[in-house]
Structure 1
Amino acid sequence: MDFSSICIILIGTTFGLILRILIKNNFKKSIGFDIQNTSIVNFLSAFFLGILVALNFINNEILVLFYSGFLGCFSTFSTFIYQLFILFKKREFLRLFFHYIEVIIFSFIFFYLGYFLIYFF
């Protein structure tokens, strides 16, 4: 990996982190609990990924900027796994199951929606 790729990833991660923090902090005030905030970020991340896949960039620098940089920092997979672990520790297996299903199914729906909007229009 060359220096320009590293700089491009850093730019993407900076914007991804800023957007994730803005969304999580602003929705935290109005919604009131963290699981849904993380889900919103994951759904938006899946939606953006669907758009990027449909655009089918050939330019390698754009791929690195958006896929590895922006979406890599914007999505909250590690937070999702941590929340599942907390629910497991609390023995809230039904909530764990439904949260897992919610994130997986809705993330796929949002991915397809982003893909559909770009690819078919």
Structure 2
Amino acid sequence: MDFSSIVIILLGSTLGLILRISIKNNFKKSIGFNIQYTSIVNFLSSFFLGILIALNFINNEILVLFYSGFLGCFSTFSSFIYQLFILFKKRQFLRLFFHYIEVIIFTFLFFCFGYFLIQFFLK
């Protein structure tokens, strides 16, 4: 990995972190139903990933910037796993199961939505 790739990843991860913190701070308020900011971030990450895959970038720097840098820092997979662990420790197994299924299904749906949305507009 050369120095320019490291700078590109650093730039992308900084932007991803800023957006994630912004979402965390702005979604502390209730939005009508109980959803955690990590789920929102994971849904958006999947949506953005679907868009990136659909755009099929040939330029490697753009992929490194957005895929490795931005989405790598923006998504919160470790926070998702930690939430599951907390539910496990609290012995809330049913809630753990439904939270797991909810995040997996919705992140997949958001990925597909982003992918097919771009496919629709590119045709």
Could you list the per-position Cα deviations for residues 55-98 of structure 1 after superposition, in whole angstroms to 9, with x for gaps in the alignment? 00000000000000000000000000000000000000000000
1:98 aligns with 2:98: yes
Specify the alignment match of 2:120 in structure 1.
120
Please give the alpha-carbon distance, in whole angstroms, between the structure 1 residues aligned to 2:34 and 2:8.
30
Conserved? CA contact 1:9–1:68, under 8 Å:
yes
More helix by share: 1
Instruction: In structure 2, give the amino acid aligned to 1:28.
Output: K
Specify the alignment match of 1:6 in structure 2.
6
Please give the alpha-carbon distance, in whole angstroms, between the structure 2 residues aligned to 1:17 and 1:110.
20
- 1:35 is displaced (CA, Å) by 5.7
Specify the alignment match of 1:40 in structure 2.
40
**TM (normalized to structure 2)?**
0.94
Please give the alpha-carbon distance, in whole angstroms, between the structure 2 residues aligned to 1:72 and 1:11.
12
Instruction: In structure 2, give the amino acid aligned to 1:111.
Output: F
Conserved? CA contact 1:35–1:83, under 8 Å:
no
- 1:30 is displaced (CA, Å) by 3.4
Specify the alignment match of 1:82 in structure 2.
82
Please give the alpha-carbon distance, in whole angstroms, between the structure 1 residues aligned to 2:57 and 2:49.
12
Moved over 3 A (4+): none
> What RMSD over aligned residues (CA atoms) do the two structures have, in Å?
1.7
- 1:34 is displaced (CA, Å) by 8.8
- 1:115 is displaced (CA, Å) by 0.3
Please give the alpha-carbon distance, in whole angstroms, between the structure 2 residues aligned to 1:34 and 1:12.
30
**TM (normalized to structure 1)?**
0.95
Conserved? CA contact 1:17–1:74, under 8 Å:
yes
The 3-state SS of whatever aligns with 1:86 is: helix
Where do 5+ consecutive residues of structure 2 fail to align? none
What is the aligned-residue identity percentage? 87
Could you list the per-position Cα deviations for residues 37-61 of structure 1 after superposition, in whole angstroms to 9, with x for gaps in the alignment? 1100000000000000000000000
Please give the alpha-carbon distance, in whole angstroms, between the structure 1 residues aligned to 2:59 and 2:107.
26
